Structure 1
Amino acid sequence: MIGLCLGLAGVVWAQLPVSSFTLAWDHTVEKIRWEEDYRLTETGLVLEEARVRGNGAGMEIPEDARLEKGSWHYRRPIPPLQPLSLGRTPQAGDYQLCVEGDCHALSHWVGAPDINEPAIQLWTCTRGGDAQ
């Protein structure tokens, strides 16, 4: 069974039995919410759509984005990510992982951001944690 693994350098810290999720965070400077919807496939995480609630430093809205309910929606044509690498430090706050509208901070599964572990990776895996 396919699932989502969270960890670093192939070491699984947590595994979730999901087929899709939303990754959300607040921009560290602008404090604007950013969301990305991913679907799990055997080749990796496929970015389906992204949303941002405004623009600012390093947050340029793509020309083809459309405004819906206060957020700019757009798609980026990128290949599946395997893994998706995220910077994660106490100063920047934590990411949220949302499944079917239920959101929790990554710390819910893997502990609080730690300056000694400034990154985390997400990847598609099987029940034992092996990458697909």
Structure 2
Amino acid sequence: MGLAGAVWAELPVPGFTLAWQHTIEKIRWEEDYRVTPEGLLLGEARVKGSGAGMEIPADAELREGSWHYQRQLAPLQPLRLGRTPEAGDYQLCFNQRCRSMSDWLGPPQATRPALELWSCELGSPGSSVDPGQDDG
């Protein structure tokens, strides 16, 4: 999977969870993606509650304190994310660990309000990041 903002990084993972806090409601959202040759395929999503602009789908199931649901979307190539200081940051979770996007890209900046994630084959140009490395 590739991710880019101010820099390029390549993460050799077959899947990941994208997590964030809703800016107004302060409720955690999580979306599971699988990396495929066609793009990033959204699997299950979870949210802890509803609120402003956060309607829970009718087919969602409440399990372990979160609403679980699936959306049927074509693979995303790329997945574009808004990333600004006002909105906070995303977490990227894989190998049973979550890390802030800031670990790779620095803090969100108004001058770079977007981030792109996409599937790619290993060996693409750019720097490779060991997903197990611990930077602190």
Whether 1:104 and 2:130 are equivalent positions in the alignment is no
TM-score norm. by structure 2 comes to 0.88
CA distance in 2, matches of 1:109, 1:15: 10
Measured in 1, the distance between the counterparts of 2:103 and 2:124 equals 20
* 1:94 partnered with 2:54: no
Task: Give the match's secondary structure for 1:92.
Answer: coil
Aligned residues: 125
Q: 1:115 aligns with which of 93, 110, 122?
A: 110
Is 1:128 matched up with 2:124?
yes
Unmatched 5+ stretches in structure 1:
none
Q: SS where residue 72 of structure 1 aligns?
A: strand
Q: Is the 8 A contact 1:85 1:121 kept in 2?
A: yes
Q: Which residue of the partner structure matches residue 5 of structure 1?
A: 2
% identical equivalent positions: 61
Q: Once superposed, which parts of structure 1, at least 4 consecutive aligned residues long, lie more than 6 Å away?
A: none
Q: Structure 1 residues 16 and 111, CA, compared in 2 at 3 Å: closer, same or farther?
A: same
* Cα 1:62–1:16 shift into 2, 3 Å: same
Task: Name the structure 2 match of 1:25.
Answer: 20
CA contact (8 A) 1:88 1:114 kept: yes
CA contact (8 A) 1:5 1:129 kept: no
2:119 and 2:53 map into 1 onto residues whose CA distance is 28
Counterpart CA distance in 2 for 1:90 and 1:33 is 17
Q: Where does structure 2 lack aligned partners over 5 or more consecutive residues?
A: 127-136
The two structures have a TM-score, normalised by structure 1, of 0.90
Structure 1 residue 87 displacement after superposition: 0.2
Work out the CA distance in 2 between the residues paired with 1:81 and 1:95. 18
SS at match of 1:103: strand
Structure with the bigger percentage of strand: 1
